[in-house]
């Protein structure tokens, strides 16, 4: 389980663990815990959750560049599209998508997401085709931040 997170750990990148434990009181007044399940989650050095190495790379770029953004989490998702990040230092929020796979199911969902973004957020969607383009090239297309006077 958790191959991406294990690879991140092996590379020295940040990963956090969540555990479920059964806790009981000992007769001497102390506590004992039995771990029942552990889950791993990749995060940036600023503890922004990431779901892939490509997301990590983009988030680290945004952090280092001082960009303002949010990371929607799956349990918050009420819309049919769930962006990887949302830039918030622009005139209007911009959905950021990182596409990094090429399976038939992934490509079908990608086409569906792109159509929804075009319909619901025209001009407010940025994407990085991580398999075909470097991050350095892709970030040139990011909208600039708005600087308030």
95-113 residue pLDDT tens = 999 999 999 999 999 999 9
Beta strands in the chain (DSSP E): 15-25, 31-42, 69-70, 85-87, 94-99, 125-129
Task: Write out the two tokens for 94.
Answer: 């911009």
Interatomic CA distance for residues 99 and 102, integer angstroms: 9
The pTM (predicted TM-score) of the whole model is 0.83
Report the pLDDT value the prediction gives residue 149, as an integer from 0 to 100: 55
Interatomic CA distance for residues 18 and 143, integer angstroms: 35
What confidence category does residue 121 fall into, taking pLDDT thresholds of 50, 70 and 90? confident
Report the pLDDT value the prediction gives residue 79, as an integer from 0 to 100: 74
| 59: helix, strand or coil | helix
What confidence category does residue 81 fall into, taking pLDDT thresholds of 50, 70 and 90? confident
- H-only helix segments in the chain: 3-10, 53-64, 104-120, 135-139
- For 9-28, how does the pLDDT look when each residue is reduced to its tens digit (9 = 90+)? 999 999 999 999 999 999 99
């Amino acid at each position: 389980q958790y191959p991406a997170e294990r690879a991140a750990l092996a590379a020295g990148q940040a990963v956090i663990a969540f555990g479920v434990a059964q806790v009981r009181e000992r007769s001497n007044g102390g506590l004992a815990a039995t771990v029942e399940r552990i889950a791993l989650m990749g995060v940036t050095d600023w503890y922004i959750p990431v779901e892939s190495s490509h997301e990590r790379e983009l988030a680290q770029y945004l952090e280092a560049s001082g960009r303002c953004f949010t990371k929607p989490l799956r349990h918050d998702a009420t819309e049919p599209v769930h962006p990887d990040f949302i830039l918030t230092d622009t005139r209007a929020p911009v959905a950021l998508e990182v596409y990094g796979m090429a399976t038939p199911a992934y490509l079908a969902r990608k086409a569906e997401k792109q159509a929804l973004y075009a319909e619901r957020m025209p001009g407010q969607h940025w994407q990085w085709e991580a398999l075909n383009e470097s991050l350095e090239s892709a970030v040139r297309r990011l909208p600039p931040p708005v600087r308030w006077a």
